[in-house]
Structure 1
Amino acid sequence: MSRLNALRSRFVDAPDSLGAKARARRWQWFADRFPDLDQMNVLDLGGTAGAWMRAPVRPAHVHIVNLEQPPADLPGWLRADVADACDLPAAIRGTRYDLVFSNAVIEHVGGHQRRQRFADTVHEMAERHWVQTPYRYFPVEPHFLFPGFQFLPLAARTTILRRWPLVHTPTSDRDAARMIAMEVELLSVTEMRHYFPKSHIRFERLAGLVKSVIAIRT
């Protein structure tokens, strides 16, 4: 088991992993697209303080909205609130932002109607945005590192999650595994173009195959 967990780290979590290199490349793309980032007030829908504190770029200010409680002690350039990105409270909606940022969140919000509300929030809150999501038809499901996982019946996905050692947070509980499987709905390029019709769609590739899709408006 530990050997397989080390394999996950090698591919996703370790500083020199394929996942870390991909994240570094996306950060560079992000910085290149928004060269005035250091002057921007950024709204991050679904992000974490840790991700920004590790990032090689730093906006003037970042406001994170997430359903999870943030750390108690944040640097002055970071603010975090517990709220639903699909239904922001009035206090946040009344704030001016230069850019909306979201990394691998839209596939977690739950169904088409909530994805549409998420996209509407992106469009409402700023003229510019960067919204990234894993591509549905990449052969290895990126959350669970299992080939073709996203195409299997729910019962099969539930069974795999109870036994597959490369899952980030393994569980032997059937109900918990089923909930985890149901919580992720990967998107196609067509869906991303529907939600972000005026955006430039950029593809991140691995071994020539589209791995993730990024909707960008500058």
Structure 2
Amino acid sequence: MSFITNLFSPSDNPESLGAKFRNQRQKDFEDLFFLNFSKDDPIRVLDVGGAAYFWNTSRLLSLPNIEIILLNLDQEEIDHPKFRSVVGDATNMSEFSDNSFDLVFSNSVIEHLYTWENQQKMAKEIIRVGKKHFIQTPNRYFPVEAHYAIPFAQYAPKPLLHFFLTKTKLSRLQKWDAKDAQQYLDEIRLLDQEEMQRLFPNSKMYLEKFMGMIKSISAHNLS
């Protein structure tokens, strides 16, 4: 039973399948990072929609002159000297000047912005404030929808999906709170590879695959 639970647990469970994919993605990202930056350089990183725990095992924290700024709608609790939390809006980062960050990073955030217009705004701001970027999102066409762990949930009518989430345990072996379920249904707009390329036209696409299928897409301009 624990195997099944871990298989469908969200990625904040370190034993979950999602966490294992995320750890591999983070390793590949960091390999690219260290090709672009010297360990002794002062480095400013903006993590859009990030949390400090994501970086707990990161090699970046070993760098002597790194600062990681977490940008969220609400203040994050910070207990590490290399982190700083700021409250802001991913679609309007006017508090930051052009090229004010060496790297902008974001993991599974851009699909939570309700509309294509908001996703375009976030992408433009990332390109404006960051010299480099690495932006990840689940692939719309992967058979198992990433947020609910239900096959083909992205194609279901929202009222039907709300029923499955709140009245059954099809999603991660548990029932969702009705308010939380509706919030996710309202805010999530999944992206595909073509749309990510349109949002980040001069970027490369790092494609994370499972059984030959693209599970997630990361746009980056790391060499």
- How far residue 120 of structure 1 moved from its aligned partner, in angstroms, is 0.5
TM-fit CA distance, 1:115: 0.4
User: What is the rounded CA distance, in whole Å, between the counterparts of 2:116 and 2:106 in structure 1?
Assistant: 17
Pairs within 5 Å for 1:157-196 = 157-165=161-169, 166-167=171-172, 170-173=175-178, 175-196=179-200
- Taking the aligned partners of 2:59 and 2:168, their CA distance within structure 1 comes to 33
Worse-matched range after superposition: 121-130 or 178-187: 178-187
Shift of 1:172: 4.3
Distance in 1 separating the partners of 2:56 and 2:3: 30
Q: Partners in 2 of 1:42 and 1:169 — Cα distance?
A: 36
- Residue 147 (structure 2) aligned to one of 118, 124, 143: 143
Q: Which one of 39, 55, 65 corresponds to residue 52 of structure 1? A: 55
Higher helix share: 1
**Percent of residue pairs identical:** 33
Is 1:104 aligned to 2:108, yes or no? yes
Gaps of 5+ in 2: none
Matches within 5 A, 1:100-139: 100-139=104-143
Residue 75, structure 1, aligned to residue 80, structure 2 = yes
Contact 1:144–1:168 under 8 Å retained in 2: no
RMSD: 2.5
The Cα offsets for residues 164-197 of structure 1, whole Å up to 9 and x where unpaired, read as 4334984343x54223212111101110010000
What amino acid does structure 1 have at the position aligned with 2:208?
E
Count of residues in correspondence between the two structures: 214
1:61 is matched by which residue type in structure 2?
Answer: E
TM-score, normalised to structure 1, is 0.87
Partner SS, residue 127 of structure 1: strand
* Equivalent in the alignment of 2:32: 33
Cα offset for 1:94? 6.6
Residues 6 and 192 of structure 1, relative CA distance in 2, 3 Å threshold? closer
**What SS does structure 2 have at the residue aligned with 1:61?**
strand
What is the distance in 2 between the residues matched to 1:76 and 1:97? 18
Partner of 1:68, secondary structure, is: coil
* CA contact 1:161–1:170 (8 Å) conserved in 2: yes
Q: Distance in 1 between matches of 2:94 and 2:80?
A: 23
What is aligned with 1:8?
8
1:138 and 1:87 map into 2 onto residues whose CA distance is 30
Give the corresponding residue for 2:89.
84
Aligned partner letter, 2:73:
L
- Alignment-mate amino acid for residue 16 of structure 2: S
1:83-131 Cα deviation digits (max 9, x unpaired)? 11111242x3378210110111100012011101000011001121100
Cα offset, 1:148, TM superposition:
0.3
Secondary structure at 1:141's aligned position in 2? Answer: coil
Gapped regions of structure 1 (runs ≥ 5)? none
Task: Note if contact 2:50-2:70 (Cα within 8 Å) is conserved in structure 1.
Answer: yes
Q: Secondary structure at the match of 2:24?
A: helix
Relative to structure 1, the CA distance from residue 7 to residue 29 in structure 2 (aligned partners, 3 Å threshold; closer, same or farther) is: closer
**1:125–1:119 Cα change, 3 Å:** same
Change (3 A) 1:83 1:167: farther
Q: Distance in 2 between matches of 1:57 and 1:33?
A: 12
